[in-house]
């Protein structure tokens, strides 16, 4: 998985963290992931190495519990492949991806840099893993109501994330382009398109992934196909964009344009007026 995130620093420590001599975590498909689980470390300070060592030596687990650890300075440490079924939310482990913010938020506050990085990584992961539709606190998983983790209010966290997303999809690389928001079945996607000569151009891979379409890249002709249909795409800094209507047709989706909010609404079945 590509973990280059504009606006955030990610350090890959997957192969350097302490792990169990023999035990290994199980693996899943990315499409098994349904939610991101937020944790605090419940320690005033700490590091991925220290947490991994604790989980392996003290708990006897195969490796660190979390997929990502976010330090107080906002640096994101990549600890486990998303496919790893690590131990952090009990019976929900198979469907959850663990993100831990360093700190004890019973007595401390997450830093602004940590919260900003949390927003960045969740947005990035939601683009790569469209089935990861939800963000919960550890405490919100079945059986964990007693656990004061992540010890910051998840309602506020989710509201901030929605606002971050709205702002993020309002920005497009090229300053002259008018950004276009994209809704699939009334859910705002964490990526933006742009207007070009009156046409909405949408990011092919992200939209097709979210809609469960198949994307092919034909190397010889430098063509992108979605569900076998050729598109009039345009490649901008490595990403293919295609006219919204063509993309919708290839994905078997209805489409509607909202001029007031510059939003393309795509949905299964017929569009309600
Ligand atoms: Zn937790």
Query: Are 74 and 95 in a shared domain?
Result: yes
Question: How many whole angstroms from 163 Cα to the centroid of ligand 1?
Answer: 24
| Claim to verify: residue 139 and residue 246 sit in the same structural domain | no
Half-sphere exposure of 255 (CA within 13 A, CB side): 20
Distance 247 CA to ligand 1 centre (A): 40
Domain tally for the chain? Answer: 2
In Å, how far are 8, 101, 131 from 75, measured between CA atoms? 7, 10, 25
Residues 162 and 210 in one domain: no
* Domain contains 104: yes
If you measure from the C-alpha of residue 129 to the centroid of ligand 1, how many angstroms do you get, rounded to a whole number? 22
Please indicate, yes or no, whether residues 238 and 108 belong to a single structural domain of this protein: no
DSSP-derived 3-state class of residue 88: coil
38 Cα–ligand 1 center, Å: 7
3-state secondary structure of 257: strand
Query: What is the CA(92)–ligand 1 centre distance, in A?
Result: 12
Give the pLDDT confidence score for residue 273 in this predicted structure. Answer: 44
Last residue of a domain, one of 168, 202, 229: 168
Report yes or no on 272 lying in a domain.
Answer: no
Ligand 1 centroid to residue 52 C-alpha, Å: 14
For the chain, 273 residues long, give each residue's pLDDT as a single digit of tens: 889 998 899 999 999 999 999 999 999 999 999 999 999 999 999 999 999 999 999 999 999 999 999 999 999 999 999 999 999 999 999 999 999 999 999 999 999 999 999 999 999 999 999 999 999 999 999 999 999 999 999 999 999 999 898 887 766 555 567 889 999 998 899 889 998 888 899 999 999 999 999 999 887 777 889 999 989 888 877 788 999 999 999 999 999 999 888 999 999 875 444
If you measure from the C-alpha of residue 167 to the centroid of ligand 1, how many angstroms do you get, rounded to a whole number?
29
Residues 234 and 187 in one domain: yes
Q: Determine the Cα–Cα distance for residues 66 and 88; give it in Å rounded to an integer.
A: 7
Residue 3 lies in a domain: no
Residues 106 and 136 in one domain: yes
Provide the domain limits for residue 202.
178-267
172-180 contacts, C-beta under 8 A, 24 or more apart: 173/236, 173/237, 174/236, 178/262, 179/262, 180/244, 180/262, 180/263, 180/264
Cα 100 to ligand 1 centre (Å): 7
Confidence at residue 219, expressed as pLDDT on a 0 to 100 scale: 75
User: What's the 98 CA to ligand 1 centre distance in angstroms?
Assistant: 8
Three-state DSSP at 87 gives coil
């Amino acid at each position: 998985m590509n973990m280059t995130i504009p606006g955030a620093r990610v350090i890959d420590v997957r192969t350097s963290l302490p792990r169990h001599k023999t035990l290994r975590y199980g693996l899943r498909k990315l499409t098994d992931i349904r939610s991101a689980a937020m944790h605090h470390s419940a320690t005033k300070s700490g590091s991925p190495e220290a947490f991994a060592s604790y989980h392996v030596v003290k708990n006897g687990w195969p490796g660190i519990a979390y997929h990502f650890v976010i330090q107080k300075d906002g640096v994101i440490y990549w600890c486990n492949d998303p496919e790893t079924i690590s131990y952090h939310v009990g019976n929900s482990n198979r469907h959850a991806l663990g993100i831990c913010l360093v700190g004890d938020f019973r007595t401390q506050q997450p830093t602004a840099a940590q919260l900003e990085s949390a927003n960045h990584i969740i947005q990035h992961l939601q683009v790569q893993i469209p089935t990861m539709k939800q963000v919960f606190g550890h405490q919100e998983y079945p059986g964990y109501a007693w656990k004061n983790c992540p010890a910051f209010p998840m309602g506020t966290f989710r509201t901030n994330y929605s606002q971050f997303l709205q702002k993020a999809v309002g920005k497009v690389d090229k300053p002259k382009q008018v950004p276009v928001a994209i809704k699939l079945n009334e859910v705002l996607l964490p990526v933006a398109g742009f207007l070009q000569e009156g046409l909405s151009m949408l990011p092919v891979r992200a939209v097709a992934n979210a809609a469960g379409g198949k994307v092919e890249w034909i190397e010889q002709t430098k063509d992108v196909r979605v569900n076998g249909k050729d598109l009039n795409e345009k490649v901008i800094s490595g990403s293919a964009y295609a006219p919204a209507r063509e993309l919708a047709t290839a994905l078997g989706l209805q489409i509607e344009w909202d001029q007031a909010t510059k939003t393309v609404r795509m949905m299964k079945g017929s569009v309600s007026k």
